[in-house]
Amino acid sequence: MVRVRASLSRLPSYVPGRKLPGAVVLASNESPHGLLPGVAAALAESAGGVSRYPDLHASSLIEALAAHHGVEPDRIAVGAGSSEVCGQLLHTVVNPGDEVVFGWRSFEAYPILTAVAGGTAVRVPLREEALDLDAMAAAITDRTRLVFVCNPNNPTSTAVGARELTAFADRVPRDVLIVVDEAYREYADPARVPDGLALLGDRPNVAVLRTFSKAYGLAGLRVGYCVAPPGIAAHVRRTQVPFSVGDLAQRAAVVALGERDEVARRAALTVAERGRVAGRLRELGHDVPPSEANFMWLPLGADSADFARHCADGKVMVRPFPGEGVRVTIGLPEENDALLTLAASWRD
């Protein structure tokens, strides 16, 4: 019998948001607004080329990203969604048994990808639904090689400010890579939530992670990237699965970068709905932490699974974390209204 890695039997599985035919899906933090206009046209025009391999180096995309952020192209590495780039970063710096520190609960893929890389996950409890950066800094040992800072944090929607983030970065040893995961950056208030690249991008041990899956509406095409010091980015590119970012994905991402105003307009619509939905949920007696993302967190504890079942029975799919809370994506107004109706009738 073929021997497989013993550690795989202990590997948790990623649990995606449920989808049900005919149901409103508020479980996966997707954009509800569909493809950007220019992207739809570009995909239709380029579809005939998928019989060929894409550009292995994603040259046009990397050049567009470098121009977008005002950095040199050698600081960019791409992957099939930010989750793959997380894995690439881990494989760049983590040896078997090395430690990876992150807040918990946070992005569900962190412990899975850490285990795949052979590392040891160090989960640091949140404080009032937010990352406890002091505790995370205290958890770093001489075995730590990487720290994930999800800002805003998924699934609790909270964020840390510039002063906290800078103080944390000052405490992290220079041989430990800080990965600031900003998948939801476009939905955050810049007055409260710093741009990690602008704040920490000149540091030799910081990589900033972004994605096209959320505000840019390309979740199904899988495009993510990081901006890192050139030496780190070079190694991250080496760990990428060849051709993992397809030609349509590369072309769509380049076009999407050029639609900055429309991306901002759509994000503003989501933020406005977020405020409306949060206000109504609070009126209904729910504890809703301040959100800086395109979703919100209901810390329902033992009632989380029951609330999610109630919503599913009403054809609205939310994302439960049993025993902890429920993550609710902000959708279109009528979708959000369906959620609010169910929240009002829960336990009636």
Q: What is the DSSP letter of 308?
A: H
The answer, yes or no, to whether residue 9 has pLDDT greater than 80, is no
Residues β-bridged to residue 77: 226
71/75 Cα distance (integer angstroms): 7
Closest to 137 (Cα-Cα) out of 176, 168, 177: 168
pLDDT at residue number 288: 97
Which domains are seen in the chain, by residue range? 14-34+261-345 (3.90.1150.10), 38-257 (3.40.640.10)
Q: Each residue of 136-159: pLDDT tens digit?
A: 999 999 999 999 999 999 999 999
Q: Each residue of 197-242: pLDDT tens digit?
A: 999 999 999 999 999 999 999 999 999 999 999 999 999 999 999 9
Return the amino acid letter for 47: A
Q: Each residue of 103-136: pLDDT tens digit?
A: 999 999 999 999 999 999 999 999 999 999 999 9
pLDDT band at 54 (very low <50, low <70, confident <90, very high): very high
When mean pLDDT is compared across 36-40, 134-138, 253-257, the lowest value belongs to 36-40
Helices 247-257 and 59-69: crossing angle in degrees, nearest 10, is: 20
pLDDT at residue number 49: 84
Other CB atoms closer than 10 Å to residue 137's CB: what's the count? Answer: 18
Which tokens hold the place of 174? 């220079």
Please give the model's pTM, rounded to 2 decimal places: 0.95
pLDDT at residue number 22: 85
Average pLDDT, the chain: 95
Task: Specify whether the CB–CB gap between 145 and 232 falls below 8 A.
Answer: no
Strands 316-317 and 24-25: parallel
pLDDT band at 44 (very low <50, low <70, confident <90, very high): confident
316/102 Cα distance (integer angstroms): 31
Q: Each residue of 65-77: pLDDT tens digit?
A: 999 999 999 999 9
Residue whose structure tokens are 């780039």: 85
Closest to 157 (Cα-Cα) out of 344, 339, 332, 325: 325
Biggest CA pair distance of the chain: 60
Count of residues in the chain: 348
pLDDT at residue number 46: 85
pLDDT band at 14 (very low <50, low <70, confident <90, very high): low
Mean pLDDT across 184-199:
98
Which tokens hold the place of 278? 């949060």
The answer, yes or no, to whether residue 15 has pLDDT greater than 80, is no
The answer, yes or no, to whether residue 50 has pLDDT greater than 70, is yes
For residue 251, give Cα distances in angstroms to 55, 73, 83, 255, 259. Answer: 10, 17, 20, 6, 13
The answer, yes or no, to whether residue 332 has pLDDT greater than 80, is yes
263/257 Cα distance (integer angstroms): 9
Residues β-bridged to residue 257: none
Which tokens hold the place of 347? 């336990």
* Exposure string over 217-249, b if 16+ CB within 10 A, otherwise e: bbbebbbbbbbbbeebbebbbebbeeebbbbbb
pLDDT at residue number 146: 98
Helices (H), the chain: 37-46, 59-69, 81-93, 109-116, 133-138, 162-171, 196-200, 230-238, 247-257, 260-283, 304-313, 333-345
pLDDT band at 348 (very low <50, low <70, confident <90, very high): low
Task: Specify whether the CB–CB gap between 293 and 154 falls below 8 A.
Answer: yes
pLDDT at residue number 308: 97
